[in-house]
Amino acid sequence: MTNDLDSLNALLDESIEHATRRAEASFDLIAGPLADKLVLFGAGNFGRKTLDGLRQVGVEPLAFVDNDPLLWGTSVDGLPVLPPNQAITRFKNEAAWVITIWNNGGGHQQAEVCSQLWQAGAYPVTQAIHLFWKHPAAFLPHYGLVLPQDVLQQSDLVRQAFSLFDDEESRRVFVARVRNALWPEFYGMEARERHFPYFPPDLIALSPDERFVDCGAFDGDTLREFVEHRGSSFQQYIGFEPDERNHARLVEYANTLPADIRRKLSLCQMAVGGRAETVGFVSTGNWSRVAAEGDNEVICDTIDSLLGRIEPTFIKMNIEGGEAAALLGARRVIESCTPTLSIVLDHRPNDLWKIPILVSELSDWYKFTLRLYSAAGWFLMLYAVKR
């Protein structure tokens, strides 16, 4: 534990001025004279975001490259998508290769693609974050990606949050995430197998009395986990999912369950947050989030208001950056009931330290644990369990 604290302090001891200069210069140091001749490896949503930001700053990449054969010969947002072999032949050392893959799985595809390019003799190769640091107004913040100086400006809060964890794995994960924000590299972080991530059996024991509140119920994925654990042996499940298509899939799955389970379910098409309001909403039919620029509108209310006299025993949150506001909207039930909390921390750069501190201020009865389920940094979970 002392070594983890020493490692954290060493990371946070960098001056803000030095980190600012380092972030401003990192992409040009890697790309050199090829800084305006770019090939984007990865034509998914993250690649499209990178392309849009580059066009905002007046840079038009040469091409997308992707390992998916279905994309070869197509164009994405007007930029052609090439197979790797063809792109390497054309641009091998005549362009900077920017890896624009944002992996939500268990591996670390950025590292795999980097190795793929290096073995073919293609260079220079860089992660997109270095490009984002060069043009932060066009790109940042984005999920856990942030300027290193922004982390260092919150060093006291980072240290405060670190002190809330007393097990070795939590502290190791915490330091690894801080290091990855300050010094992103092409290696993966140590991650657990992604099995029952919301209810890890070594940390959480679900009971027949469970009154489970599922914030971000998606298409029923968490409900499936819950039923796999408990069958019909629970008191109540309340699921909140604002996306219309996801909610329809949630209801469709729920209707396949036995009657003794169905009668315990309440499925609500709405968002949870810090106050009652109608909010803008961005929806893709897969992931979705509350955002002012959204084309749709959804009803939002607080957990305290929605639950009324219901006393939850468990609250799970995976709501694309709305977790802090929703926790504030659950102040009453957290203070009075101390439900087990299972919270995703990877949607906003400062959630790693902001949310544990927030929960500790709402109740001092919790023991905190961190677990990581993706080597690329995705699916970072905070578990707060009553002592």
Instruction: Supply 264's token pair.
Output: 């315990």
- What's the pLDDT tens digit per position in 26-42? 999 999 999 999 999 99
Instruction: Supply 251's token pair.
Output: 């209801």
Task: Flag whether pLDDT at 198 surpasses 60.
Answer: yes
Domain range annotation of the chain: 2-143, 191-344
pLDDT at 374: 82
Q: pLDDT tier at 108 (50, 70, 90 boundaries)?
A: low
**Closest-CA residue to 52 (of 93, 104, 100):** 100
Q: pLDDT tier at 51 (50, 70, 90 boundaries)?
A: very high
Q: What superfamily in CATH does domain 2-143 come from?
A: NAD(P)-binding Rossmann-like Domain (3.40.50.720)
At residue 144, what is the residue type?
G
In this structure, how many other beta carbons lie within 10 angstroms of the beta carbon of residue 200? Answer: 16
Share of the chain above pLDDT 70, in %: 93
DSSP notation for 116-128:
HHHHTT---EEEH
CATH number for the region 191-344 comes to 3.40.50.150
Q: Of 91-100, 142-151, 281-290, which one has max mean pLDDT? A: 91-100
Share of the chain above pLDDT 90, in %: 82
Task: Flag whether pLDDT at 88 surpasses 80.
Answer: yes
State whether the Cα torsion 258-259-263-264 is positive or negative: negative
Q: What mean pLDDT do residues 153-179 have?
A: 97
Q: How far apart are CA 43 and CA 80, in angstroms?
A: 10
pLDDT at 294: 57
Task: Flag whether pLDDT at 231 surpasses 90.
Answer: yes
Supply φ then ψ for residue 368, to 5 degrees: -110, 140
Mean pLDDT taken over the chain: 92
Please give the DSSP secondary-structure letter assigned to residue 277. E
Q: How far apart are CA 218 and CA 244, in angstroms?
A: 10
pLDDT at 379: 87
2-143 and 191-344: same fold?
Answer: yes
- What's the pLDDT tens digit per position in 290-334? 555 556 788 999 999 999 999 999 999 999 899 999 999 999 999
Q: pLDDT tier at 185 (50, 70, 90 boundaries)?
A: confident
